[in-house]
Amino acid sequence: MSSSLEDHEFPSVSNHTKNDATNLKGIMTFINSDAACRAPTQEILKILQTDAKLGLNENDIQLRQKFYGHNDFDVDDDEPIWLKYLGQFKEPMILLLLASALISLILKQYDDAISITVAIIIVVTVAFIQENRAEKEIEALKKLVPPKCTCIREGKSHLIYARDLVPGDLCILDIGDRVPADLRLTEANDISIDESSFTGETKPSVKTIEPLVCGSRLTSIGDRKNVAFMGTHVLNGNAKGIVICTGENSEFALSLITLSTVFHFPNPLNAMQILWINIIMDGPPAQSLGVEPVDHDVLKKPPRKVTDPMIDRRLIINIITSAVVIVVGTLCVFYAEMRDGKVTPRDTTMTFTCFVFFDMFNALSCRSQTKFIFQIGFFSNRVFLISVLLSIAGQMAVIYFPPLQYVFQTEALSASDLLYLTCLTSSVFFVSEIRKLIERLVIKSQDNHKYVTNNHWMV
């Protein structure tokens, strides 16, 4: 019994005065359900300084409400839907694109202005729809919390607002009730609860009051048979339970936080880094490919048919393959760096540099769609070589030059970091070279087959 809660860490009471903290001496702020399910009922009652028959008294309730707050969730003020839509245009990247569209309009480049504007509208609309759906799903989940509940205080049963519950309150559950907070059950009479919203199990969970014996391993939601979770539905029987977690500390709130986190996916790159990649990194190397020396073997090939598409199946497959390698590699670097769940300058610098290096190796592989790089020569296109070297020099300046570090929100990387990124990003080049080798072998096999077939008919 002593090992169930003594070694468990609890969140500390915040924003308390010293005098008030003295009054709460010995009371933990919350006991999470994983710790509570292991402990006997008497230990829970002792820690929360409450009574399994009488509940809390009025003085305890007022003091705890002052410290723990209400048993609800912070809800943003309602905004008109049109104002939420316009709020999407406040993003730095969107503002930069709007500025680009305006400059194009001033320079009378109407095609560019229209295309940029259309792209902005599409991006903003998609982001708005996704955010709106996420908010609606979260609001729907919040409605699972009941507005009122039955609670025993000072030995008497009261129907109170669920938002007024505090840790240590004694609640009564009956058929059809929604559980108002996370409860450690003290009495259970054939009670079964629908926990499908948490566990995904269609079968109701039959509850008990016995502590769970599971050693030191972390228990799953479905294992905690002596805990009733906020938002779940009582299907049969009745029970009493002590409130262990309320509001944003409940398991229900943690699921909302998880859902909100999923829909607010962190951005690996900031607006300035994306602009740098699009304008500086993509531009010069791509343009230098236009002065690639003529492939003399092109004269040996048959004329291209007028009906043949400019963008054929092979080109599309090559583009998709390179894109998959680049995106997967860049995101792997981002999430490998973001171990603490927070986006830091180092995280974005590693991701930013990774994408730029991928860009350089991809440009190298694009010098020829059929020939290996050693066949056409590394130095045969001097313009390409110069543009790549200047692009890499610019990237190094962004990483190591303090004024540019401030603008691009980067920090210096070590030599081992650069070596690691170089090895990783070269994968897109080697994938392209292997693809060329496979295509050559396939074509050679087909030619040999045709040669054998023709000789057979001649014989």
Helix 415-425 to helix 313-337 angle (10° resolution) is 150
- The pLDDT, as a whole number, for residue 86 is 84
* CATH code at position 373: 1.20.1110.10
Identify the helix (H) or strand (E) that includes residue 387: helix 382-400
- The pLDDT, as a whole number, for residue 207 is 93
Residues 195 and 125 reside in one and the same domain: no
Q: Is a pLDDT exceeding 80 seen at residue 342?
A: no
Give the mean model confidence (pLDDT) for residues 4-32. Answer: 47
100 CB-near residues (< 8 Å, 6+ apart): 116
Show the tokens assigned to 51.
Answer: 């009574």
Mean pLDDT of the chain: 78
Check residue 309 and report its DSSP letter.
-
Distance from C-alpha of 254 to C-alpha of 265, rounded to nearest angstrom: 17
pLDDT (tens digit per residue) in 238-280 = 999 999 988 878 887 777 666 555 555 556 677 678 778 766 6
Distance from C-alpha of 67 to C-alpha of 192, rounded to nearest angstrom: 33
pLDDT (tens digit per residue) in 377-431 = 777 888 888 888 998 999 999 999 998 888 888 899 999 999 999 999 999 889 8
- The pLDDT, as a whole number, for residue 3 is 42
Split at pLDDT 50, 70, 90, the class of 175 is very high
Residues 237 and 208 reside in one and the same domain: yes
Q: Per mean pLDDT, which range of 101-105, 262-266, 372-376 is the poorest?
A: 262-266
Residues 54 and 184 reside in one and the same domain: yes
Answer with the residue of higher pLDDT: 421 or 342: 421
Residue identified by tokens 């690691």 is: 420
pLDDT (tens digit per residue) in 59-102 = 889 888 888 888 877 655 567 878 888 888 887 777 877 887 88
Helices (H), 277-369: 283-288, 313-337, 345-365
Cα 223 to Cα 34, 195, 207, 218, 255, distances in angstroms: 9, 11, 10, 10, 17
- The pLDDT, as a whole number, for residue 203 is 86
Note whether residue 303 is domain-resident.
no
Q: What is the domain count for the chain?
A: 3
The number of CA neighbours under 13 Å toward the Cβ of 253 is 16
CA torsion angle 13 15 19 20 (round to 10): -60
Residues 326 and 368 reside in one and the same domain: yes
Distance from C-alpha of 160 to C-alpha of 35, rounded to nearest angstrom: 27
Split at pLDDT 50, 70, 90, the class of 114 is confident
Give the mean model confidence (pLDDT) for residues 172-183. Answer: 92
- pTM of the entire predicted model: 0.48
Q: 117 lies in which domain range? A: 81-142
- Choose the most confident range, by mean pLDDT, from 62-71, 287-296, 305-314: 62-71
Give the mean model confidence (pLDDT) for residues 163-168. Answer: 90
- The pLDDT, as a whole number, for residue 201 is 77
Helix 110-142 to helix 251-263 angle (10° resolution) is 170
- The pLDDT, as a whole number, for residue 257 is 62
Residues 357 and 385 reside in one and the same domain: yes
Residues 188 and 58 reside in one and the same domain: yes
Residues 228 and 274 reside in one and the same domain: no
Residues 28 and 109 reside in one and the same domain: no
Note whether residue 23 is domain-resident.
yes
Residue identified by tokens 């009922």 is: 41
Answer with the residue of higher pLDDT: 139 or 450: 139
Split at pLDDT 50, 70, 90, the class of 456 is low
Domain boundary among 97, 121, 142: 142
Q: Per mean pLDDT, which range of 37-46, 147-156, 183-192, 334-343 is the poorest?
A: 334-343
Q: Check if the beta carbon of residue 413 is closer than 8 Å to that of residue 349.
A: yes
Note whether residue 363 is domain-resident.
yes
Give the mean model confidence (pLDDT) for residues 45-51. Answer: 89
